[in-house]
Structure 1
Amino acid sequence: MLEPLLPVSNHRCGRWRDHRQVINGIIHRLGTGVQWRELPERFGPWKAVHKRHLLWSADGTWERLLRHVQSAADTEGGIDWNINVDSTVTRAHQHAAGAPQTPPPVTLSPSKGAAEGQRRPSASMMLHGLPEGGAPGEALGRSRGGLTTKIHIAAEGHCRPLSLLITPGQRADCTPFESVMDKIHVPRAGRGRPRRIPDSVSADKAYSNRKIRAYLRKRGLRHAIPEKQDHKAARLRRGSRGGRPPGFDKARYKDRNTVERAIGKLKQFRAAATRYAKRGYVYLGTVTAAALLIWLRS
């Protein structure tokens, strides 16, 4: 399924080592969290496996593969578009600290095997974190528990991630909600624009605010988000000026457990459950590769 999308040659070193051997090494490291230097010899030189993962995390290869698998599932009607949004905090290992404060942009030239018209973005473009408490752009924050990173996830009804985003660990759940929703991008097999709009959205009380509800109403999305108690009390104190209570579908909200189960599947991969990478784009590539495996194994 993935072979047609993989580049066939490296712009510097000519033809690459066998993709299957290298990807098996990446999968082994995802599941075990082992140091790259400790990879078994059957996967070839560890530097080749490590470098391939870094490169594919920077140029968006993992994300393109994930979208391809999602597109194939959507073509067969295998995606439940009643999605649920949540986040989870992952502890950062001490090896994740120490990234330079001002990382230089690394621009990667397009490879011969890349699809026509697609250029590899710079590594700095792939950094989805914001500078709070850690190196700028590395999605590494400091809180009471130490260095942490937060994974924001939108999962479809079969407990599989549709979109992923990382931020510093102390970032509020609701802040990147719109970015997580905007990252939903499932290409269609034939003609037509990629699907971005789900059938409905569910989230917990952390996402209960006016901005998010206005965003969902603007896009015409049905949603099930419970109202916070303090918001309800403030609305009641204002009487008729407080407006009507937001609609809430209890039956729909019961399905929110699918995102919790998706997070549980994601954290079965030790390299995703604990952050070892210094660079934010490398850790995001690790999480995306784990999400890809969840789709392939389903």
Structure 2
Amino acid sequence: MAEPRRPPGGGGAGGEGLGRSRGWFSSKLHLSADGHCRPLPLIVTPGQRADCTRFIAVPEKTRVPGPGPGRPRKKPDSLAADRAYSNGSVRQYLRRRGVRHTIPEKSDGRAARRRKGARGGRPPGFDEDRYKKRNTVERAINRTKQFRAVATRYDKRGYVFLGTATAAAVAIWVRT
């Protein structure tokens, strides 16, 4: 009998969304939110997995509903993310899709750019007013964690936990 494939870096069985983070099993819920703090797509990853590794999967699953009838948009007007997503591949992906983005630069990235001198390029643009709206994602995460089953993750299977989080997201959409 074949053993289940484990994700790189150890952790739980592959695909279950469980991994060791600070000594205990945990998982992360990646999502984007609209302007009303409602979650759009949900992705579950193990706790030790870096945030930026699953960045591209979230915008690819995002569908922004319009005000009237018709298909939802696949491309947001703008995007604001925290420092965890400040790397070249994320910025390049957003530029390629034509999405305006506001992501603060990490201090080590700033130091590396300065160390390279003229070859380091210019600093990325940063709009403070647009970045202030990033709290909508944090508030959407807090809304989903108001549901006890999402906050504590009693579910053992990754797909069951994703279903629980999706049910919480649907409840949030119905309430607003």
- Residue equivalent to 1:283: 161
- Residue equivalent to 1:32: none
- Residue equivalent to 1:177: 55
Letter in 2 for 1:282: V
1:130 and 1:167 in contact (8 A); partners too = no
Give the TM-score taking structure 2 as reference length. Answer: 0.91
1:202 and 1:224 in contact (8 A); partners too = yes
Q: Are 2:80 and 1:207 equivalent residues in the alignment?
A: no
Shift in Å, 1:143: 2.5
1:166 aligned to 44, 50, 62, which one? Answer: 44
Greater radius of gyration (CA)? 1
Aligned partners of 1:159 and 1:151: how far apart in 2?
Answer: 15
Shift in Å, 1:145: 3.7
Letter in 1 for 2:75: I
- Residue equivalent to 2:12: 134
Aligned partners of 1:135 and 1:275: how far apart in 2?
Answer: 16
- Residue equivalent to 2:118: 240
Show the 5 A alignment for 1:38-57.
none
1:130–1:163 distance in 2 versus 1, CA, 3 Å: farther
Show the 5 A alignment for 1:1-298.
102=4, 132-186=10-64, 190=69, 193-298=71-176
Aligned partners of 1:186 and 1:261: how far apart in 2?
Answer: 18
Letter in 1 for 2:62: I
User: Relative contact order (C-alpha < 8 Å, sep 6+): which is higher?
Assistant: 1
Shift in Å, 1:263: 1.0
SS of the residue corresponding to residue 276 of structure 1 reads coil
Aligned partners of 1:286 and 1:206: how far apart in 2?
Answer: 26
Structure 1 vs Structure 2 CA RMSD: 2.1
**May I ask how many residue pairs the two structures share in their alignment?**
173
Shift in Å, 1:233: 1.0
1:141 and 1:170 in contact (8 A); partners too = yes
Aligned partners of 1:290 and 1:101: how far apart in 2?
Answer: 33
Letter in 2 for 1:204: D
Shift in Å, 1:187: 6.6
Letter in 2 for 1:295: W
SS of the residue corresponding to residue 149 of structure 1 reads strand
Letter in 2 for 1:250: E
Letter in 2 for 1:196: K
Q: Deviations over 1:15-58 (max 9, x none)?
A: xxxxxxxxxxxxxxxxxxxxxxxxxxxxxxxxxxxxxxxxxxxx
Q: Deviations over 1:115-158 (max 9, x none)?
A: xxxxxxxxxxxxxx956410121111013241101100101111
SS of the residue corresponding to residue 159 of structure 1 reads coil
After TM superposition, the runs of 4+ consecutive aligned structure 1 residues lying more than 2 A away are 100-103, 129-132, 185-191
Identity of aligned residues (%): 64
Unaligned runs of 5+ in 1: 1-99, 104-128
Shift in Å, 1:175: 0.7
1:239–1:255 distance in 2 versus 1, CA, 3 Å: same
SS of the residue corresponding to residue 248 of structure 1 reads coil
1:101–1:159 distance in 2 versus 1, CA, 3 Å: farther
Q: Deviations over 1:267-292 (max 9, x none)?
A: 10000001111111010000000000
